[in-house]
Amino acid sequence: MTDAMETSVEPKEDVPFLEKPLTDPEKSTKCPDDAPVTEDDSRDTRCGFWICKGPFLQRFATEKMYVVLYGFAGCVLVMTFSYFNGTITTMEKRYKIPTKISGIISVGNDISTMLTAAILGYYAGNGHRPRWMGVGLLTIVAFCLLTSSLHFIYGAGEDALKLTKQYGQVNETLAQQERDQKLCQSSAADCIQEVGQWVPQLILFVAQLISGVGQALFYTLGIAYMDDNGTKSKTPAMLSLSTFLRMLGPAIGYSLAAVCLRLYIEPTLDPLIGPTDPRWMGAWWLGWLGLAAITLISAVLLFMFPKELPSAKKRRQQVTQTESKDLKELSFWDLLKTVKRLANNKVYVFNTAASILYFFGYMAYWIFTPKYIETQYRQSAATATMAAGTVAFGFSAAGVLLSGYIISRYKPSARSMAAWNAIVDFMTVAGILCYVAIGCEGSDRMNSMTTLVAGDSCSASCHCDYVHYAPVCSPENVTYISACHAGCSERTKDDLGRTIYTGCKCITSGTLMSEPEHLYTVDGTCPVDCFHQFLTFLAVMCFLKLVGASSKSTNLLIALRCMPQEDKTFALGLGSMVASLFSFIPSPIFFGWLIDNYCLVWGKTCSNKGNCWLYDTKSLRYALNLTAASFIFVGGFLNIAVWYYAKNLKIFDEDENIEDNNIEMKEKCVKSESRQ
């Protein structure tokens, strides 16, 4: 949800980047007159702040250094959101959060982005933009620390501690009660008390709200600063490089999540279960501490960048050496006029609408792909996170680099770029339809059997409504929600150290096995092999990442070239606000609600139904993918409208080579004068 707000306005003649050369190199060899440089101008182009403004730092005030720094900072920013998405299923288990609520939490940053992007882009865009971007990154540091603080406030939780060796040693009475609660009870079991579960949810939401302000400042100002301080011929390469560096963020963020989730939520304790057990909770909180530190470093580096690059100031002074640059008066009425001007531009409107529909449909995969892999293909949280992040986003980075090279090499027209955006939409729809067909029969069958077991009248007499999800497997390879749901009455261990539940009267229901030796279950889910289907899904996902990323640069270039120079920062902020309102905010909530509708087993508590432990995978696969594909399909037709109205849009200037020669001539003359 970052560089997505690409929009469109007809280009004006008086653009600030050397639209026309001041001298004709074929008719004159005189050097252009230098514009007077004031002390304020000199300060605006110097790196550093306060006492850190030495000569050594000034060598870093270049376009290339900004692109690298902006890409690095963007990488760190995306790492934080990717890490959140990679650990969200674990946080759902820890704090018993339904998917619908986690969807609401995840859009907190988009709510604050929507409320602040346009205003910050309008006013902060006329100030020291790198420093405002540094302030934005400081809010991300606060987001990281606030999120991780939950673990230090609430600890690992009793559910996780019960599954460790040390738990029985610390409190054998509670451990015995927990073991008894899993078995068939003669009377109704007490409901599970959960005190203050809404507080962690509120803290997570507030943290997301804070991060949205930083996101709005960073992306709205950063892209405009890059375009304002570079030549148009170099913009595609600069965008591709910064986007490539930023695309490394999800890969690193998801990899960090995978590493942390392989550790138990309380690393100092010895768990009794493995990472493949659905009850496993990893150390989700650990990565936030490292992310806070590296984000702080990025903020300091950005804060030291100059208000304007020296090379950009030279180009601007050549264009405006005979005219003083009028500072636009910032007023609310002028803001409304700008909105009206942008709303009358068809390329801007259709491009924004197409982006909104694409993001609405694809947001489900950005946030819930790890959960999808866990539920559909029975993979561990660490494996799902690694696949969704590191592997898939490697193809995204390749797509960005490839598209950047093609655009810089062949300089396609605006219509060609818009056409490619539409083709990408339709190819994405085709790939999502493949997701529907890639199901795991064993997983689907296991869930359907568990559903029948949950509604069995036999287990109803055992009063299992508030028993924790603790799956057991029968000799017939049927998974039961718990030993209680199987009607088991005794608990022992076999020679291999496995937990065995015996006297399980409910496993004979609907079967031919009634002999006492078959009335037992083994702790854990029945084995299901979905690895082949998982690899097929991963291959399709990587292809879609490669194709989808190739349209990032084309979409962003259309956005930057379709609006007047003076409206650029505000237009990007307005587009971000509109996309948040109609896409980034409602989409996770909608798809979270959709996923919850196909939940089969809830972790019930006294006050609410808690988190979902088991889903109807087949129905969920059809509903989720077909719904997402529908939105993206409609967005493809809006990109066709962008193609139609972008026929007069200029991406590259014809006279850029002449301008570059003019700048080089001036620099040579300045050097010769200094020697004299």
* Range picked from 334-343, 580-589, 595-604, 654-663 for highest mean pLDDT: 580-589
Give me the amino acid identity at 581.
L
The pLDDT, as a whole number, for residue 235 is 65
Cβ pair 186, 73 in contact under 8 A: no
Among 305-314, 321-330, 537-546, 554-563, the range with the most confident prediction by mean pLDDT is 537-546
| Mean pLDDT calculated for residue range 67-73 | 86
- Least trusted range by pLDDT, from 3-12, 113-122, 166-175: 3-12
- Cα-atom radius of gyration of the chain, to the nearest Å? 29
Q: Which amino acid is located at 301 in the chain?
A: L
Dist. CA 291–CA 16, nearest whole Å: 38
pLDDT of residue 515: 57
Q: Is the pLDDT of residue 165 over 70?
A: yes
User: What 3-state DSSP class applies to 351?
Assistant: helix
- If one compares 499 and 660, the residue with the highest pLDDT of the two is 499
Q: What residues contact residue 633 under an 8 Å CB cut-off, 6+ apart?
A: 425, 426, 429
The four Cα atoms 218, 224, 225, 227 give a dihedral, to 10 degrees, of: 140
Q: Say whether pLDDT at 379 is over 80.
A: yes
| Cα distance between residue 227 and residue 236, in whole Å | 10
Distances (CA, A) of 271 to 218, 264, 266, 275, 480: 41, 7, 9, 10, 22
**Buried-exposed string 462-487: b where 16+ CB fall within 10 A, e elsewhere:** bbbebbbbbbbbbbeebbbbbbbbbb
Distances (CA, A) of 32 to 21, 220, 273, 513: 10, 34, 75, 97
User: How many other CB atoms are found less than 10 A from the CB of residue 383?
Assistant: 21
- Between 18 and 69, residue with greater pLDDT: 69
Q: Give the pLDDT confidence score for residue 634 in this predicted structure.
A: 94
pLDDT tens digits along 611-623: 788 888 899 999 9
Q: Is the pTM of this model over 0.85?
A: no
Residue 391: left if φ>0, alpha if ψ -120 to 50, beta else—which one?
A: alpha
Q: State the amino acid at position 98 in one-letter form.
A: P
Residue type, 408: S
Q: pLDDT tens across 523-573, in order?
A: 877 888 889 999 999 999 999 989 988 887 788 788 777 777 777 777 777
Q: Is the dihedral of CA 79, 286, 282, 213 positive or negative?
A: negative
Q: Is the dihedral of CA 235, 577, 338, 133 positive or negative?
A: negative
What is the per-residue pLDDT for 274? 82
Percent of the chain with pLDDT over 70: 73
In this predicted structure, what is the pLDDT of residue 608?
Answer: 66
Q: Which residues of 542-558 are buried (b: 16+ CB within 10 A; e: fewer)?
A: bbbbbbbbbbbbbbbbb
Q: By the 8 A CB rule, do 23 and 31 touch?
A: no
Query: What's the burial of 7, exposed, middle or buried (CB within 10 Å: 0-12/13-18/19+)?
Result: buried
| For residue 344, pLDDT beyond 90 | no
pLDDT of residue 28 exceeding 50: no
Listed in sequence order, the DSSP H helices in 263-345 are 286-303, 310-319, 332-343
* 428 pLDDT tier (thresholds 50, 70, 90): very high
Q: How far apart are CA 264 and CA 165, in angstroms?
A: 13
> How many residues in total does the chain contain?
676
> What average pLDDT does range 102-113 have in this prediction?
86
Please provide residue 223's backbone torsions phi and psi, each rounded to the nearest 5 degrees.
-65, -45
Contacting residues for 667 by C-beta, under 8 A, at least 6 apart: none
| Strand segments (E) across 482-611 | 490-493, 499-502, 520-523, 599-602
State the DSSP H helix or E strand holding residue 463, giving kind and residue range, or none if neither. none
pLDDT higher than threshold 50 for residue 474 = yes
Which uninterrupted H or E stretch holds 261?
Answer: helix 235-262
For 225-258, the pLDDT digits (tens) are 877 776 666 666 776 677 777 778 888 888 899 8
Closest CA to 387 of 402, 399, 374: 374
Which pLDDT belongs to residue 294?
Answer: 93
The percent of residues in the chain predicted with pLDDT above 90, rounded, is 19
Task: Sketch out the chain's domains with CATH numbers.
Answer: 39-43+60-173+197-440+530-665 (1.20.1250.20), 442-523 (no CATH)
Residue 326 has pLDDT above 90, yes or no: no
Q: Provide the token pair at 226.
A: 């890059």
Element (H, E) at 613: strand 612-615
The alpha carbon dihedral of 222, 226, 232, 236 has a sign of negative
Q: Residues near 269 by Cβ (< 8 Å), separated by ≥ 6?
A: 156, 161, 164, 165, 166, 167
The mean per-residue pLDDT over the stretch 460-482 comes to 78
User: Residue 23: pLDDT band by 50, 70, 90 thresholds?
Assistant: very low
